[in-house]
Structure 1
Amino acid sequence: MNAASTLTTRLLTEQPRPRGIADWRYAHWLAVGTVCLGAFLGQLTASVTALVYPALQRHFGAGFAAVEWVALAYLLVLVALLAPVGRLSDLVGRKTVYIGGFAVFGLASLGAGFAGGLGTLVACRAVQAVGGAMMQANSVALVARGVPERAMCRALGIQAAAQGLGLALGPSLGGLLVEHASWRWVFWINVPVALAGILAGWFLLPRTRRPDAGPVPRALPRPVPRPRGAARSRRLVRSDPDGGRFDLAGLLLLAASTTALLLALSAASGLPLPGWAVAALVLAAVLCGLGLVRQERRAARPVLAPGLVNTPGVRPGLAVSLIGYLLLFCPLVLGPVLLAEAGLPTGRAGLVITVLPAAFAVAATAGGALLPRGWSDVARCRLGAALAGAGLLGCALLPAAGAAAPALPLLVAGGGLGLLLPANNALVMRAIPAECSAVGGGMVNMARSLGTALGTALPVLGVHLAGPVPGGRAVLLVLAAVAALAVALSRPVRRR
C-alpha cells in the first residue's frame, strides 16, 4: 500500500526537466514540439475516422447510423470534458494532466483496435475523448507557460500548422491503412505517437506546478469594484474574476440535450430505435434545452454566458463558427461514400478527400498573405464563405467518376474555409470584452465541436433518406446554401 501511494504521488507530482535541457537556450521549442504532437494526434483522429465507416459497416454488419457514433461519441465526450478538465489541471498541474492524456488516448486506441463489437469500439472512442480533452484543455496554456512572450505568436502558429498537418494527413493515411492493412490500424497508429508524447512530455515540458505550491484556492478574493463604464462587461459573466463554483449543472444539461438530439437524428437516419424511444429523446432534448436556458441565466459562472452571447457580433460569429466546421467535416464523411459509389478504391478516395483539409490548413496559415493588405476580417469571411459555397456546389454538380473532378472543387472549398474560420474567430474575440476572453474562447470551441458533430450526422441522414448519390448531392446543395447564410452573417460590428 505504501509503495502504491508513493508511486501515485510521484506520478501526480510534476517533475522538472533535466538540467541540460532546461538550461538550453532553445529548450522552449522542444516544449512547443511536444505540444504539437498532441495537436497533430487530436486532428489526425478527427479526420481519419471517416475513412473506416464502410469497413466498419461490413465488419460489424451495422448500418451507417450506428457506425457514425464512432465519431459522435468522441465529440460529445470531448465537448463535455474540456471545461472541467481545465479546472482539474489547475489543481494537479497541466504537465501531469497533459502527459496523462497521451496515456489514456494511447490505451484507448489500443483497445479500439482490438474491439470485437461496435459497442466496445464506441466505448473505447469515448475513453479516447477523455485523453483528447486532457491534451486539448492544456495545449495553449503549456505553450504560454514554456515560451518567451516574444516567440508566442510564432509558437502558436507552429501549433496551428501541426493541427493542419494532422487534419490533412488523416484521410489519405486512413484510406491507405484500410485498403492495404485493416481498419484496426487506423486506431493502432495512434499508439506510437502517444508513447512519443509521454516521453517527450516527461523530459521536455517545464513543470507548471511546484510540489510546495499548496492547493489552489477554491475562490479568489473579490476584486475592487470597477468604474461605472465597466459595469456592462461585469454583467456579461457575473463572476469571471472571482473564482465562483463551476457550472456543472449547465454542462450536464448541455451534454444531455446534445446527446438526445443527436440520438433522435440518428434514429431518423436508420438507427433501430422504437418509436417511443425516439419521442422520449426529442422530449428530453427539449426539456434539457429549456433547463439549460434557465440554468445559464442564474449560474454564477455559466457555461454559455447568455449576456455574452447577446453581445453585438458574438451570436452571429458563433453561428458562423458552427457553420464553418459543419462545412469542413460534412464532406469528409460524405466523400468516401460518393467516391466508393463512383468505383474509386479506398486508398485513392482518401487521397482525393485529403485535398479539402490540406487546402484548409494552407489557407488558414498563409492565405492572408495572398489577399490585399487592407482587407478587413469581414471581407475575408465573406470571400471565404463564398468560395466554400462555390466549391461545395461544384462537388454537387460535377461527376465523381475520376480523381480530378471532385478534387478541384474540394480545393476551392478548403481554401475558402481556411480564410473564413481564422478571420471569424478574430471577429468574435474582438467583440468580446477582454475580461471575458476565456469564457468566449470556450464558447468558440464548443461551437466548433457542435458543428463537427452535425457535420458527421447530416450526411448519414441524407444518405439514409435518398440513397448514397442522390442523398449525398442533396446534402452538398444544402451545404452550399448554408455557406451563403455564413456570407450574410459576416458583417462588421462596432465595439462599444
Structure 2
Amino acid sequence: MTEPQASGAATGKNPITALRERIAARPNYPWYVVAVTCVGSFMGQFDASVVQLALPDLAVRFETRETVVSWVALAYVVAFSAALPPFGRLCEMFGRKRLYLLGMTIFLVTSALCGMAGSLGELIAFRVVQGVGAALLGANSIAILVHAAGNERRPRAMGYFSAAQAVGVSLGPIVGGLLLGSFGWPAIFWVTVPVGIVGVAVGWLVLPDDSPSPRENGFDWLGMVLLGPAIVALVVVLNHAADWGIASAPSLSLLVAGVALLALFIWRERGAKAPMIDLKLFGSRPFSLGVFAVMLSFALLYGMFYLMSYALIRGLHEPPTRAGLRMSAIPIALGIAAPIAGMLVKRYTTATLSLFGMALSTTALLTLSLIALEPVPSRAIGMVALAVFGAGLGFFMAPNNSATMGTAPKGLSGEAGAMLNLARMLGVSLGVASAASMLRFQTARISAETQTDVFFYGHPMLGAVESSFGLMFGIALVATVATLIRRRLAPEA
C-alpha cells in the first residue's frame, strides 16, 4: 500500500510552496504554463476587437466626433507598440514571471478603471496605461511559452497560442454586441476583469520562477528615447493614413520623423554596450523573414476584417450583430486550424504548412471575388469562403511563428518574442490602414463611373470591396515569397 504524500506542514514547507511543487512535478506541467500565456493572449485580442465595436456608442456617449473617439482604440495600440521593445529587455533584467503578472494586474485594474471613466480624456488615459500592461504581457508571453514547451512541443504550443488570439478576436464582436445592447459600453471593459483575476492567481501558482539577469552595462535609455517616439509616429501614420492622406502634411511630417528616429536608433544600437534590441536578431535572415511574414499575416487578417465589415453592412445591408456573427467564421476557423497545424509540424515542414495555408487563403479570396460578392450574392458560399480564409491563416501563422522563434539566435528568445508581438501589432495597423485607403480609392472611382452613392447602395459597395481584394492578393503573394525564401535559407524549417 502506497504511503500518503507528506503534507506541506509535515515537510516544513509553506502549503502554497508545496502546492506549486506538486503542480511543477506533474507530467503535463509545460501545458499548464502554455495555458497561462494563452489567457494573456486571449485578453489582449478580445479587448482590441470589442473596443472597435463600441466606438460609435462612445462617440454618442461623449458627444464627440468618431475621429476623436478613435483614440480610445489608437491609444492602446500606440502604448503597446512603444512599450514592447524596452520591456523585452527589462523583463530579462528583472524576471519574466513577476513582470508578466504585473502586466496582467495592470491590465485588469485599468480595465475596471476604463469601465468607470467619467470622461473621454480619462478613458483614453486609462487605455494608454492598459496598453503598457498589455506590452508587459506581450514581452514575456512567447518567451515563457517557448522556454516551458521546449523544441519538441513548441510548434503545438504556438498553435494553441495562435488559437487563443483567434478566439479572443472572434468573441469580441459577438460578446461585445450582447454586452453593449444589454448593459452599455462600460460592460465591455468590466468583462475582462474576472478573467484577469483568474489569470494572475493561476499564473502565480503555475509559472516557473526565474532569476533576474541584470546586465553589467545597464539599460540603453537613449535607445528607448529614440525608439518609442519613432514607433508612435509610424503607428499614428498607419492608423490615420486613410483619413489624412499619405501625402498630407501631418502624414509626411510624422513619417519623416518616424523614419529619422528609427535610423538614429539603429545607429545608436550598433555602438551601444547594452543595446535595447540586439541587432544580432536580424542578422539571421530566416528570423527577419519570419517576422516580416508575421506582420503580413496580421495585415491580411485585419485588412479582411475591415473590407468584409463594409461588404456585409454597407453592401449586403445586414445588421451589425448578424455581420459580426458572419465575420466570426474567420477567427473561429483560424482557432481550429492553428493547433492542427502545430501538431502536423512533426510530419511536414513549417514552410510546407505555411504555403498550404496561404494557398487556402488566396483560394478563399478568389471565391469571394468571383462568386460570393456578385450582384446576387451567395451567403452560404460566402460563409464557407470566410471559414476557409481563416483556416488558411491558421495553417500559416502557427508554423511560421514556431519556425521564426526556432531561427532566433540562442539567448535572445525574449527579444525575439517581443519582436513577434510588435510585428503583429504593426501588421494590424498596416492592414486596416491599407485596406481603408484602397477602399476609399475604389469607392471614389466607382462613384465617378456609376454616379451612385457607393456607401449606401449595395452592389457598387460590393464592387469596391471586390476591387480592394487585389490588395489582399498582393499581401498574400509577398508573404508567400518571404516563406519560399526562408525555406531556401533554412530547409529544415
1:258 CA displacement: 3.0
Residue 362, structure 1, aligned to residue 336, structure 2: yes
Inter-partner Cα distance in structure 2 for 1:179 and 1:275: 38
8 Å CA contact 1:384–1:419 kept in 2: the answer is: yes
For residues 424-467 of structure 1, what are the alpha-carbon distances to aligned partners after superposition, in whole Å with 9 as ceiling and x for unaligned? 23443454443554444433332222112222333443455536
8 Å CA contact 2:83–2:228 kept in 1: the answer is: no
8 Å CA contact 2:364–2:386 kept in 1: the answer is: yes
**Residue correspondence of structure 1 range 22-421 to structure 2 within 5 A:** 22-23=21-22, 25-26=25-26, 28=29, 33-60=35-62, 65-90=67-92, 92-140=94-142, 142=144, 159-202=161-204, 204-205=205-206, 208=209, 216-219=213-216, 244-270=217-243, 277-302=250-275, 305-306=278-279, 308-341=281-314, 342-367=316-341, 375-396=348-369, 398-399=372-373, 403-421=379-397
Change beyond 3 A, Cα 1:460–1:186: farther
For residues 148-190 of structure 1, what are the alpha-carbon distances to aligned partners after superposition, in whole Å with 9 as ceiling and x for unaligned? 9998877666555444432332232223333444333222211
Across the aligned residues of Structure 1 and Structure 2, the Cα RMSD in angstroms comes to: 3.8
Specify the SS of the correspondent of 1:168: helix
1:248 CA displacement: 3.8
Change beyond 3 A, Cα 1:86–1:103: same
Residue 493, structure 1, aligned to residue 493, structure 2: no
Gapped runs of 5+ residues in structure 2? 1-13, 444-453, 456-460
1:17 CA displacement: 2.8
Change beyond 3 A, Cα 1:327–1:302: farther
For 1:493, give the aligned amino acid. Answer: R
Same amino acid, percent of matched pairs: 31
Change beyond 3 A, Cα 1:289–1:363: same
For 2:51, give the aligned amino acid. Answer: T
Inter-partner Cα distance in structure 2 for 1:320 and 1:413: 16
| TM-score (norm: length of structure 1) | 0.77
Aligned length: 452
The answer to which structure has the higher helix fraction is 2
Specify the SS of the correspondent of 2:373: coil
Pick which of 124-133 and 283-292 moved more.
Answer: 283-292
8 Å CA contact 2:78–2:235 kept in 1: the answer is: no
Specify the SS of the correspondent of 2:16: coil
Inter-partner Cα distance in structure 1 for 2:91 and 2:241: 39
Specify the SS of the correspondent of 2:185: coil
| TM-score (norm: length of structure 2) | 0.77
8 Å CA contact 2:143–2:413 kept in 1: the answer is: no
The match for 2:18 is 19
1:143 CA displacement: 5.3
For residues 342-368 of structure 1, what are the alpha-carbon distances to aligned partners after superposition, in whole Å with 9 as ceiling and x for unaligned? 322222222111111111121111036
For 2:268, give the aligned amino acid. Answer: Q
Gapped runs of 5+ residues in structure 1? 1-14, 220-243
Change beyond 3 A, Cα 1:431–1:80: same
Inter-partner Cα distance in structure 2 for 1:119 and 1:442: 29
8 Å CA contact 2:158–2:401 kept in 1: the answer is: no
